[in-house]
Amino acid sequence: MGGDHRAFLDATLPHVDVVYQVARHAAGTGQDPEDLVQETYLRAFAAFGSYRGENTRAWLAAICLNTARSEARRRRRGQVGGWKVQVPWAGSSAAIRACAMNWPYRSAGHPRRVTSSS
């Protein structure tokens, strides 16, 4: 499973700025773009096993837009609560949990820039 985490990060981290821009435009009233990015990456990781490796940027953007629409529907229905996604790594790698739960990474000078510390 460790290889899956690394493959996921290698495939998706270069697109975090684009996903954030999509989230900023897609976030509705009461939605935080950073929460939307975090949920996008959680859902992407959960679906990564069935990902075919084509156009990662478009795949992530579609997940982000669908997540924003789902949240907007939930809010219109008056449902309370936050995002609900089953995470496949519960109880496993602390590194991937920390990575997924702290989107987007922050660095001095550019709050949305992802830096690699491999």
What domains appear along the chain, each with residue ranges and CATH number?
2-101 (1.10.1740.10)
- Rounded to 5°, angle at Cα 98 from 94 and 100: 120
The residue written with tokens 């997540």 in the block is 67
Q: Distance between CA 23 and CA 60 in Å, rounded?
A: 11
Q: Distance between CA 87 and CA 36 in Å, rounded?
A: 16
pLDDT in tens, 72-96: 888 777 755 555 444 454 444 444 5
Strand partners for 110: 107
Burial of 33 per CB tally in 10 Å (0-12, 13-18, 19+): buried
Q: Is the pTM of this model over 0.85?
A: no
Predicted local distance difference test score (pLDDT) of residue 99: 53
pLDDT higher than threshold 50 for residue 64: yes
pLDDT higher than threshold 60 for residue 23: yes
SS3 content of the chain, % helix, strand, coil (to 5): 60, 0, 35
Q: If pLDDT is split at 50, 70 and 90, which confidence band does 100 have?
A: low
% of the chain with per-residue pLDDT over 70: 60
